[in-house]
Amino acid sequence: MEAKFILLHPKDNVLVCCQQAGAGEIVTIDKEKIVLMQAMELGHKAARQTLSKGDKIMKYGVPIGSALHDINPGEHVHLHNMRSDYIPPHTRE
């Protein structure tokens, strides 16, 4: 079966979900094993490793923002725990 997550660049510290996955599922990328802490939807990101508050989130090999607090491997990385280094997004809230 195809892997449900992909690593877009070796420098990345997040993985991208290619197929819906449930909490507790084990993702293996390059022999690294990560246990998903939450269910994940297509297109969303999971932490590949432990991240500290202020760390740059790396995707496509480039920074896409910074961690707002410490993030565990397998945790969903999104609006609640990271933010842009440039400009805030527009949400419905």
Partner 1 sequence: MKSFLRKDGRKGIRNVLIVAYLVECAHHVARAIVNRSDDPAVQLIGFPGCFPNDYALRIMQALGTHPNVGGVLLVSLGCEGFNREALAGAIRASGRPVATLVIQQTGGTRKTIEAGLAAVMDMKTRIASVKRVEMTLDELVVGTICGGSDGTSGISANPAVGKCFDQLVRDGATCIFEETGELIGCEQVMMERAVTPGLAKEIEQAVVKAVHYYKTMGYGSFAPGNAEGGLTTQEEKSMGAYAKSGSSRIHGLIKPGDAPRQGGLYLMDVVPDGEPRFGFPNISDNAEIVELIASGCHVILFTTGRGSVAGSAISPVIKICANPETWKNMADDMDVDAGRIIEGEADLDEVGGEIYQRVQAVAAGSQSKSEALGHQEFILTYKSFEPIGPACLPAH
Is 89 near partner 1 (CB under 8 A)? yes
CA torsion 36-44-51-1 (nearest 10°) is 40
3-class SS of residue 60 = coil
Stretch that binds partner 1, among 13-21, 27-35, 47-55 (CB under 8 A): 13-21
Complex with partner 1: residue 14 or 73, whichever CB lies closer:
14
CA gap 28, 89 in Å, rounded:
31
Residues that bind partner 1 (CB under 8 A): 2, 6, 8, 16-19, 41-45, 57, 59-60, 62-65, 77-79, 82-92
